[in-house]
Amino acid sequence: QSALTQPASVSGSPGQSITISCTGTSSDVGSYNLVSWYQQHPGKAPKLMIYEGSKRPSGVSNRFSGSKSGNTASLTISGLQAEDEADYYCCSYAGSSTFDVVFGGGTKLTVL
């Protein structure tokens, strides 16, 4: 079980859109549309932003969207705002007969 691969950092200006990639394998991201994304501000617990690939929990802005192509999932944030600056982690279901999950290494989003 290897960690999913995310870029270490991305940046964008207010109002712009950015995309964070999350690359796994055919055993996790590629086999299931069960990727979730979490936002984490410094010193805080992670917050669920996207689940089951592209679904948004109640209360999460529609500026956040998720997608998948092959072994790579993506989180897109449109209309960047200063409060979006945070660390973002992807997570995928990784078990065919178990309930294992695996996280990505995390991406630091800087709003310029």
Partner 1 sequence: QVQLQESGPGLVKPSETLSLTCAVSGYSISSGYYWGWIRQPPGKGLEWIGSIYHSGSTYYNPSLKSRVTISVDTSKNQFSLKLSSVTAADTAVYYCARLFGLRASYFDYWGQGTLVTVSS
- CA dihedral of 21, 22, 27, 32, whole degrees rounded to 10: -70
Q: How far is CA 90 from its chain centroid?
A: 4
Distance CA 91, CA 69 (A): 15
Residue with smaller CB distance to partner 1, 14 or 95: 95
Q: How many residues bind partner 1 (CB under 8 A)?
A: 27
**What binding mask, one character per residue, do residues 35-74 give for partner 1 by CB under 8 A, x or -?**
-x-x------xxxx--xx----x-----------------
Write the DSSP symbol of residue 84.
Answer: G
By the rule CB under 8 A, 91 interacts with partner 1: yes
By the rule CB under 8 A, 10 interacts with partner 1: no
Three-class DSSP category at 103: strand
By the rule CB under 8 A, 95 interacts with partner 1: yes
Residue with smaller CB distance to partner 1, 64 or 89: 89
